[in-house]
Chain A
Amino acid sequence: MSAEKLATLEDAAALVRDGDTVAIQNMATQAAPMALVRELIRQGRKELGVVCLVGGIPVDWLAAAGAINRLIGAAVSMEQFGLCQRYRKAVESGAIRVEELSETALNARLGAGARNLPFLPTRGLIGTDLIDVNDNLVMLDDPFGGPSVVACKALIPDVALVHAHKADRFGNIGYEPTALWPDLGIMPKAATTVIVTVEEIVDSEVLRADPDRTVLPGFMVDAVVEAPFGAHPTSFFPRYGYDTAMHLEWIGSARDDEAVAGFMEKYVTGPADHAAYLEVVGGAERLAAVEAWE
Chain B
Amino acid sequence: MSDWQNSPPAEDWTIDELMIARLAACFADGDQACNGMASFVPVSAFWLARLTHAPDLVWLAGAVGLEPRPDRVPASTLEAPLWRDSIMYVEQYGDFWTIALNGRWLTKFCVGSAQLDRFGNGNNSIIGTDYHAPRVRLPGTAGLGDMGSIGKALYYWNPNHNPRSLVENVDFISCAGYLGGGSERADAGLEGGPELVITNLCVLDFHPDTRHMQVASLHPGVTFDQVQEATGFELPAPEGRLPTTAVPTVEQVRLIREVIDPDNMRRREFGG
Contacts and interface: CB of A to CB of B under 8 A. Distances in A.
A143 interface: no
A240 B258 CA distance: 28
12 contacts: A74-B141, A74-B145, A76-B139, A92-B136, A103-B97, A127-B179, A128-B149, A133-B132, A178-B89, A237-B80, A237-B84, A293-B81
B131 A129 contact: yes
Closest 6 CB pairs of A and B: A102-B145, A185-B93, A127-B176, A124-B146, A182-B93, A75-B140
A179 interface: yes
A194 to B, nearest CB: 16
A80 interface: yes
A180 B190 contact: no
A148 B189 CA distance: 8
- Residue from B77, B97, B101, B139 with most neighbouring chain A CB atoms (10 Å): B139
A275 interface: no
Given A28-B78, A75-B139, A102-B145, A54 B37 contact: yes
A29 interface: yes
B265 to A, nearest CB: 9
A179 B211 CA distance: 38
Interface stretch (A42-50, A93-101, A161-169, A217-225): A93-101
Interface stretch (B5-13, B16-24, B167-175): B167-175
A179 B132 CA distance: 34
Contacts of A138: none
B137 interface: yes
A130 B174 contact: yes
A213 to B, nearest CB: 12
Q: How large is the interface on A (under 10, 10 to 19, 20 to 34, 35 or more residues)?
A: 35 or more
Interface in A96-147: 97-98, 100-105, 107, 122-130, 133, 147
A177 B89 CA distance: 8
B246 interface: no
Contacts of A29: 76, 78-79
B78 A130 contact: no
Nearest to B177: A127
B42 interface: no
B91 A180 contact: yes
A80 B78 CA distance: 10
Contact of A179 (B37, B89, B101, B139): B89
Nearest to A100: B140
B220 interface: no
B15 interface: no
B140 A76 contact: yes
A127 B76 contact: no
A54 B139 CA distance: 9
Contacts of B145: 74, 100-103, 105, 124-125, 128, 130
Contact of B75 (A28, A80, A98): A80
A244 B81 CA distance: 14
Give the dominant DSSP class at B's interface.
loop
A94 B132 contact: yes
B185 interface: yes
Contact of A129 (B133, B147, B172): B172
Given A128-B176, A185-B92, A102 B143 contact: yes
B137 A98 contact: yes
A179 B135 contact: no
A130 B149 CA distance: 12
A166 B42 CA distance: 35
A92 B94 CA distance: 34
Contacts of B206: none
A243 B120 CA distance: 37
Interface in B151-198: 172-176, 179, 185, 188-190
Contacts of B92: 103, 179-182, 185
Given A126-B189, A130-B125, A102 B173 contact: no
B62 interface: yes
B143 A129 contact: no
B131 A127 contact: no
Contacts of A107: 93, 97
A97 B126 CA distance: 13
Given A80-B76, A92-B135, A125-B146, A180 B89 contact: yes
A200 B135 CA distance: 44
- Residue from A77, A88, A101 with most neighbouring chain B CB atoms (10 Å): A77
A79 B76 contact: yes
B248 interface: no
A235 interface: yes
